[in-house]
Amino acid sequence: MKLLKFRVTDFRSVVDSGWVDCQNVTAFAGENESGKTTLLMALLKLMDLKRQLDSVSALKINSFNLAKINIMKDMPIDRAAELQSGINDVKFIYAQFEISRELEIALKAINKRFNEKTGSLIISKTYGGTYDIDILDQFDKRERPAVINCVVSKIPKFMYYKEVTEIDSHIDLSALAVKLAGLEKSGGRVKPLTMRETMVSNLLNCLDIWESNLIKSIAEVAEGDTAAGKRKKNIDFCEIFERLPLFRARVQKGFERLNREFLKWWGKDDVTIGFEPYNKGVVIKIIGNDGTSYLLENRSTGFRRFFALFLSFSIAAKEDYENTILLFDEAGAALHPLTQKKLANFFSELGRHCQLIYNTHTSYMLSIDQLNRVRVVYKDKSGHTQLSSAMRINEDRTNEMSLFPVQSALALYVAEKAMAACLPVIVLNNRDEDYLSIIKNILTAEGRLNTVYTILIFAAGENGIDAAAETFAAGDDLPLIFLPSDVSGRAVKKRLTAGKYSSCPQKVLEVSDFMKDGRDFEDLIPSVFTEIFSKLYIEKLLGKGFVYEKKDKKLIEQIESYSREHQIKLPDNYRSEISRRMKVNTMKNYADVNIPSSYISTWTKIWKQLLTL
């Protein structure tokens, strides 16, 4: 059955998540401690463990252990006492599934009058482990237990992965064959595969050499049969590969196919994955373009993790994960950002074969063309987890940190496009960027600034300005730098013109080049603009007693003088906040304010100079 949407209530930090739409691939973006994993855990506990524990895989056993309801851990702390008195009535997870053709037939066998009107049903589960289904009213009371059993038996398995176990270079084929053949037992029961053995089994499936006949043959030889009973024999795979060239050729062909598939996602052709036989099995070798070979363990953590993810799901997803929903908890955490992007693309491909939900706090795991699959997870002011598909910061800003990965993904995309062909102007800080942008926007609106360039203004800071300049060009092609004429600005200018910009000092400009008494970028803006368009914020800082004296000192000087006189502590970033509000409000209302002609003249001169250079 396909999961269409789900809802979590009264579970750990979640009071009510609301209905969360699910696609083939769904991503939860949010900061640490926002509740992303909590949502995965609630889904995991929807399963009926008595029916689902049907595999010896340690990976699945790990998921099922986590899927057990734990009243002490799972009930919200602030309501545990209230809820524990009626655990069989308190529902914590609701899930809407598409009704499959198979399920429809099974339900009609219980009652032929069953009519699946909407094509879906909603299953809910209580802390007591009991289920309820919204279609029960179509059945008689005596039929309802059979309906619940029928529907619950079709619930997909939810497989949870915190991290995927890496594979070792040395693969003991004899021991694995014995285990897969069910010949290795403990207490009368077949021993389950360990996570590492499961990884090896996935690798051999990828190579397409590990069919049941081969497993049985190796296992029988490895166990052996003598008059004294069973005893293990040593199998020398070096001898087998030498004696059976067709088998070696088949393994070689499998590794060639594995390389093609893996490198399609890894994206680099700097290595080849090969093998060598040894007495117990094979050794995976990584072969560089120069012919040097080394063990898989010598590759980076990111390579090994990505290889493990590929082995776990590339082939297995098509065969072993039918009617399974994969839950990935920070799957790309150990990977390089660009490798995370590859993993996100890999997940998109994987979503063609099974559903998956993953959470992340990195922008590289979010694709711009798939933002409809992203749900932002955050905590509100009361500390409860909330979800939203809205990509805007809330009025109370509680989702700001969780929205950061989405904003970063958009910013990376925009930056890549903007930096491809633009006129870059570098300034020291966000405040300077705001004021220079205001000037540019007003001149453009007034028809005084015409250029074919996309103008990119950005702040790099005193310590980042050199490196930022080199991201665009080098030598005489260096980008423009526009600095304040205060102590720090002039110190930066001196350093740049004596070093990186020694061959093109004219590209380092300062405010006083255009305004004789100008020191800061704030001086380029009429004080009346600053006072009008940030009035509410200034009033919030200083109270209604502050009155701007237009013929006296500059606005910022008056603000600081008033705060000292009245012992008001100003926030460290108050000037940046004023500039930010100015930037937002000016373009909405600038036409209502008379701009002195001297400022228009200065602004025109600035941009004429910038465009000329």
Q: Over pLDDT 90: what percentage of the chain?
A: 21
Q: What is the pLDDT of residues 522-538, one digit of tens each?
A: 888 887 777 777 888 88
Q: Give residue 190's pLDDT band: very low, low, confident or very high (50, 70, 90).
A: low
Helix boundaries (H) for 446-596: 465-470, 487-498, 527-533, 535-542, 555-565, 574-589
What pLDDT is recorded for position 377?
92
Q: What is the pLDDT of residues 367-423, one digit of tens each?
A: 888 888 999 999 999 889 998 888 888 888 888 888 888 888 888 887 777 777 778
Q: What is the pLDDT of residues 225-251, one digit of tens each?
A: 544 455 556 778 888 888 888 888 888
Whole-number Å distance between alpha carbons of 603 and 590: 15
Q: What is the pLDDT of residues 432-456, one digit of tens each?
A: 999 899 888 888 888 888 877 778 8
What pLDDT is recorded for position 186?
63
Q: Over pLDDT 70: what percentage of the chain?
A: 91
Question: What rounded mean pLDDT belongs to the chain?
Answer: 83
* 241 alpha carbon, distance to own chain's centre: 44
What pLDDT is recorded for position 315?
58
Side-chain-side CA neighbours of 98 within 13 Å: the count stands at 12
169 contacts 140 by C-beta, under 8 angstroms: no
- Residue 324, pLDDT > 60, answer yes
* 426 alpha carbon, distance to own chain's centre: 30
Whole-number Å distance between alpha carbons of 541 and 572: 12
What is the per-residue burial (b if ≥16 Cβ within 10 Å, else e) of 471-490? ebeeeeebbbbbbbbeeebe
What pLDDT is recorded for position 316?
55
Average pLDDT over residues 471-492: 85
Look-up: residue for tokens 């992965």?
A: 161
- Could you write out the DSSP letters of every residue in 48-84? -HHHH----BHHHHHHHHHHS--HHHHS-GGGHHHHH
Q: Give residue 356's pLDDT band: very low, low, confident or very high (50, 70, 90).
A: very high
What pLDDT is recorded for position 582?
82
Whole-number Å distance between alpha carbons of 90 and 354: 31
* 240 alpha carbon, distance to own chain's centre: 46
- Residue 119, pLDDT > 50, answer yes
What pLDDT is recorded for position 53?
52
Cβ-Cβ contacts under 8 Å for 603 (sequence gap 6 or more): 439, 442, 443, 448, 524
What pLDDT is recorded for position 228?
46
Q: What is the pLDDT of residues 33-64, one digit of tens each?
A: 899 999 999 999 998 876 655 443 444 555 66
Q: Give residue 494's pLDDT band: very low, low, confident or very high (50, 70, 90).
A: very high
Whose CA is closest to 374, among 422, 409, 342, 406? Answer: 406
Structure tokens, 439 = 């000037």
Measured at the CA of 247, the angle between CA 242 and CA 253, to 5 degrees, comes to 115
Q: Give residue 8's pLDDT band: very low, low, confident or very high (50, 70, 90).
A: very high
153 contacts 51 by C-beta, under 8 angstroms: yes
What pLDDT is recorded for position 264?
82
Whose CA is closest to 565, among 578, 538, 546, 544? Answer: 546
More confident residue, 197 or 9: 9
Q: What is the pLDDT of residues 512-522, one digit of tens each?
A: 999 888 888 98
Average pLDDT over residues 206-231: 68
What pLDDT is recorded for position 274?
87
280 contacts 235 by C-beta, under 8 angstroms: yes
- Could you write out the DSSP letters of every residue in 566-585? TT-PPPTTHHHHHHHHHHHH
What pLDDT is recorded for position 56?
36
- Residue 570, pLDDT > 80, answer yes
Point out the least confidently predicted range of 18-27, 261-270, 413-422, 440-449.
Answer: 413-422
Q: Give residue 184's pLDDT band: very low, low, confident or very high (50, 70, 90).
A: low
Average pLDDT over residues 189-194: 72
Point out the least confidently predicted range of 27-41, 136-150, 288-302.
Answer: 288-302
